[in-house]
Amino acid sequence: MEKFITVLQDIKTLFNRSLSELSIDCVVFGFHDEQLKVLLLRAKGSDSWMLPGGWILKTEHLEDAAYRILKERTGLGSIFLQQFHTFGANNRYNGREIMARLGLPPEQNFFPERAVSVGYYALVEYSLVEPQTDMMTDECRWWDVNEIPELLFDHNEIASRALKALRKQFDHEALGFNLLPEKFTLVELQRVYETILGLKKGGLDRGNFQKKILGYGFLERLDERKTGGAHKSPYLYRIDPAKYGAYLRENE
Amino acid sequence: MEKFITVLQDIKTLFNRSLSELSIDCVVFGFHDEQLKVLLLRAKGSDSWMLPGGWILKTEHLEDAAYRILKERTGLGSIFLQQFHTFGANNRYNGREIMARLGLPPEQNFFPERAVSVGYYALVEYSLVEPQTDMMTDECRWWDVNEIPELLFDHNEIASRALKALRKQFDHEALGFNLLPEKFTLVELQRVYETILGLKKGGLDRGNFQKKILGYGFLERLDERKTGGAHKSPYLYRIDPAKYGAYLRENE
DNA sequence: TCAAAAGTGTTCGCGATACACCCATGC
DNA sequence: GCATGGGTGTATCGCGAACACTTTTGA
């Protein structure tokens, strides 16, 4: 119980240094086992899950706050991050409910009546992430995007809207490699596309996919090949940063 | 001076009923004289222009606030409205600067140190709009989108980002008729597209444009024709609401 | 040696583009 | 009547979808 009081003090201290009516929620996407994953946190002393999120320091740029929050949860400093929507339903959040979920007395609630939340989604390399809990949570781990449980507040809506935004952006921009290691094969990239677009394995034609991707002109084929697997060993590719920069400038 | 004090009281009253750290800014697009227009307001007693905006009542849904603000400035209840970005630079806004711009003593500033703003853009029928000032402004009128002056705060950035978002959405969705009266000709619609996409008159092929637009299947050709102009009188069209609804459902 | 995966090339069809032609209207 | 703008039809090009064929690897 004493520990709880300390935590409560820590939360209050952070909260007092932050904007009170605004928060950030992040939908962190990773790719593993040919599945799209989302990072979720379990609220302290409860079995309710939620998205990673946090507050914005009073002097902090909104986007900096999002990067900071993501660094705290994933350990990663360099991340593909995209603001996609701001959620402002007047009943989306409830300070007393947070207190209760944290096992704290609701009548001592110091959160505001209401908070609006800015939604970001992030694409990260799964294997580099070291999920870390925060003051308000006991557990942080990946969930399959198709098996997301019921989340606190409006977090299910935020997550599904993030996925929708991700799919839309995938249709118009080349982003898939943000979910992969530095070096990857084209078939690995194809799996990412198929998964995100909701297709089954092989749903995209191999030949056409490779032509399209290589047609962008910013992938560099390495002399290395991926070994270890059975059958013909595929080439490894990586992004050529200069050419990718040029591509982005042309398409923006 | 007495009038100013009354205004100040009104502003304070409204502000106290609203969220303090969050505001809404709207970029209202209209179409007139084959030009894309934006609605701007001139701050009281100054020659500085700004976007229409406002605060969110403490119990009000974010989106409802945006509709309310637009209704107050344009008189229109039914509007195509789209949230496109939330602006959170830590230096984007300054309460003391607002006071000064309003001709009020900065040391009496009651605005918060900082505010984050949610950006919406709206598409309206130019001829139906009756621009109306608010408590903080003297003048409300249309500006050509290519002649927007230097605006207060980060409003130039908000406006240019709205235009970018509008262009992007135009590429993927059929929206143009939101800027036109209920009945319109296909060439009028074509002008809207050309203007927004930054093309010159006739930049799109007439025949191809008509095929594409009619191919969507939700336009209804009326028996009426537009008269009065010289030369062959063109057909009038309007949206078939049922078919348009079906189109939206398929493409979302 | 053979099954399966990876790389490469070829064909086909559709949609976008360019453009031609005819029609209607006001001066 | 004719200049101009509006409506409609046709030829062409390019890209993506479908798929065939070759190459490489481990078992």
Q: Is residue B113 part of a domain?
A: yes
The DSSP symbol for A233 reads P
Q: Would you say the C-beta of B185 is within 7 Å of strand D?
A: yes
Residues paired with B81 in a beta bridge: B122
The residue whose CA lies nearest the C1' of nucleotide C24 is B232
The DSSP symbol for A45 reads T
Tally of structural domains, chain B: 2
Same structural domain for residues A20 and A99?
Answer: yes
Q: Which of residues 179-208 of A touch strand D (CB under 7 A)?
A: 205-208
Same structural domain for residues B149 and B197?
Answer: no
Q: Is residue B42 part of a domain?
A: yes
Q: Is residue B76 part of a domain?
A: yes
Mutate to test the interface with A, among B15, B18, B21 (most CBs of A within 10 A): B21
Q: Would you say the C-beta of B171 is within 7 Å of strand C?
A: no
Q: Is residue B165 part of a domain?
A: no
Shortest Cα–Cα distance, B87 to chain A (Å): 8
Six token digits for residue A18: 């932050």
Give the pLDDT of chain B (252 residues) as one tens digit per residue. Answer: 555 677 788 888 998 999 999 999 999 999 999 999 999 999 988 899 999 999 999 999 999 999 999 999 999 999 999 999 999 999 998 888 777 777 778 888 888 889 999 999 999 999 999 999 998 899 999 999 999 999 999 999 999 999 999 999 988 888 999 999 999 999 999 999 999 999 999 899 999 999 999 999 999 999 877 777 778 899 999 999 999 999 988 877
Domain containing residue A90: CATH number: 3.90.79.10
Same structural domain for residues B20 and B88?
Answer: yes
Same structural domain for residues B140 and B46?
Answer: yes
Partner-chain residue, chosen from B83, B113, B116, that has the shortest CB–CB distance to A62:
B116
The residue whose CA lies nearest the C1' of nucleotide D2 is B231
Residue type, B42: R
The string of DSSP codes covering B71-123 is HHHH--SS-EEEEEEEE--TTS--HHHHHHHTTS-GGG--S-S--EEEEEEEE
Give yes or no for a contact between A133 and A74, defined as CB atoms under 8 angstroms apart.
Answer: no
Same structural domain for residues B100 and B180?
Answer: no
CB neighbours (10 Å) of residue B186? 18
Q: Is residue B32 part of a domain?
A: yes
Same structural domain for residues A107 and A92?
Answer: yes
Same structural domain for residues B111 and B222?
Answer: no
Question: Which pLDDT tens digit goes with each residue over A209-228?
Answer: 999 999 999 999 998 777 77
Same structural domain for residues A120 and A53?
Answer: yes
SS3 for A216? coil
Distance A232 CA to C2 C1' (A): 13
Domain stops at, among B157, B189, B214:
B157
Domain stops at, among B157, B181, B202:
B157
The pLDDT value recorded for residue B42 is 95
Same structural domain for residues B153 and B176?
Answer: no
Mutate to test the interface with A, among B17, B22, B61 (most CBs of A within 10 A): B22
Residue type, B229: G
Distance A134 CA to C14 C1' (A): 54
The pLDDT value recorded for residue A3 is 59
Where in the sequence is the domain holding A54, given as residue range(s)? 2-166
Q: How far is CA A44 from the centre of its chain?
A: 21
Same structural domain for residues B182 and B217?
Answer: yes
CA distance B89 to A63: 8
From residue B59, alpha-carbon distances to A93, A99, A157, B54, B65 in Å are 12, 21, 20, 15, 10
Same structural domain for residues A13 and A106?
Answer: yes
Contact A61 B89 (CB under 8 A): yes
Mutate to test the interface with B, among A15, A16, A17, A22 (most CBs of B within 10 A): A22
The residue whose CA lies nearest the C1' of nucleotide D3 is B231
Virtual torsion, Cα B66, B71, B72, B74, nearest 10 deg: 120
Q: Is residue B220 part of a domain?
A: yes
Domain containing residue B239: CATH number: 1.10.10.10
Q: Is residue B167 part of a domain?
A: no
Q: Which is nearest to A27 in space by CA: A63, A64, A70?
A: A70
Partner-chain residue, chosen from B62, B90, B113, that has the shortest CB–CB distance to A86:
B62
Taking the model in full, what pTM does it have? 0.94
Same structural domain for residues A177 and A79?
Answer: no
Q: Would you say the C-beta of A204 is within 7 Å of strand C?
A: no
Contact B90 A21 (CB under 8 A): no
Domain stops at, among A166, A198, A220:
A166
Q: Is residue B117 part of a domain?
A: yes
Range B219-227 contact pairs with CB under 8 angstroms and sequence separation of 24 or more: B222/B183, B224/B183, B226/B185
